[in-house]
Structure 1
Amino acid sequence: MKKVSTVFTSLATVGVIALGLSLGGCSAMDTAVKKRDLAVETKMSETIFLEPVTADKRVVYFDIRNTSDQEINVKERIVSAFKSRGYRITEDPKEATYMLQGNILKVGKSDGKEAQSHLGSGFDSGLTGAAMGAGATYALGGSGRSTAGGAIAGAALGFIGDALVSDVMYIMVTDLQIRERPLEGEVVTQTQKANLAQGSSTTTKQNIEGGKIEWKTYRTRIVSTANKMNLEFEEAKPVLESALAKSISGIF
Structure 2
Amino acid sequence: MVRSKGLITIIFLSLLLVLTGCSALSTSVKKKDLAVETKMSSTIVLDPVTKEKRTVFLQLRNTSDKQSLDYQTPVAEAIKAKGYTIVEDPEKAHFWIQANILQVGKSDLRTINGKTDQGYGAAIQGAKIGSLFGDGDGAIAATVVGGLIGIITDAMVDDIVYVMITDLQISEKAKLGVDITETNDATLKQGDSGKQTQESVEIVDRKKYQTRITSTANQVNLTFEEAEQQLLEGLIQSMSGIL
Sort the TM-score into its range (normalised by shorter chain). 0.7 to 0.9
1:186 to 178, 188, 191: 178
Alpha-carbon distance change, 21 to 38 in structure 1, aligned in 2, over 3 angstroms: closer
Structure 2 unaligned segments of length 5 or more: list them: 1-6, 124-136
Could you give the per-residue CA deviations for residues 148-201 of structure 1, whole angstroms, max 9, x where no partner exists? 996665343124333334322222111111111112343210122222221112
Distance 1:18 1:74 in 2: 47
1:248 to 214, 232, 239: 239
The letter for the 2-side match of 1:94 is: E
Two-structure CA RMSD over aligned residues (Å): 3.8
Could you give the per-residue CA deviations for residues 113-134 of structure 1, whole angstroms, max 9, x where no partner exists? 9xxxxxxxxxxxxxxx999844
Alpha-carbon distance change, 132 to 248 in structure 1, aligned in 2, over 3 angstroms: farther
Distance 1:148 1:174 in 2: 54
Distance 1:48 1:112 in 2: 31
Count residues in correspondence: 224
Alpha-carbon distance change, 87 to 228 in structure 1, aligned in 2, over 3 angstroms: same
Alpha-carbon distance change, 168 to 112 in structure 1, aligned in 2, over 3 angstroms: closer
Within-5 A mapping of 1:72-83: 72-83=69-80
Could you give the per-residue CA deviations for residues 52-95 of structure 1, whole angstroms, max 9, x where no partner exists? 11111011111111111121111121011101111111111010
Q: 1:230 maps to which residue?
A: 221
1:211 to 202, 209, 214: 202
The letter for the 2-side match of 1:65 is: R
The letter for the 1-side match of 2:91 is: K
2:185 alignment partner, SS class: strand
Does the 8 Å CA contact 1:104/1:174 hold for their aligned counterparts?
A: yes
Alpha-carbon distance change, 36 to 19 in structure 1, aligned in 2, over 3 angstroms: closer
Q: 2:212 maps to which residue?
A: 221
Q: 1:201 maps to which residue?
A: 193
Identity of aligned residues (%): 43
- Relative to the length of structure 1, the TM-score reads 0.73
Q: 2:90 maps to which residue?
A: 93
Q: 2:152 maps to which residue?
A: 160
The letter for the 2-side match of 1:54 is: T
Within-5 A mapping of 1:55-134: 55-70=51-66, 71-110=68-107, 133-134=116-117
Alpha-carbon distance change, 18 to 62 in structure 1, aligned in 2, over 3 angstroms: same
Alpha-carbon distance change, 167 to 84 in structure 1, aligned in 2, over 3 angstroms: same
Distance 2:61 2:86 in 1: 17
- Relative to the length of structure 2, the TM-score reads 0.76
Q: Which has the higher contact order (CA 8 A, sep 6+)?
A: 1
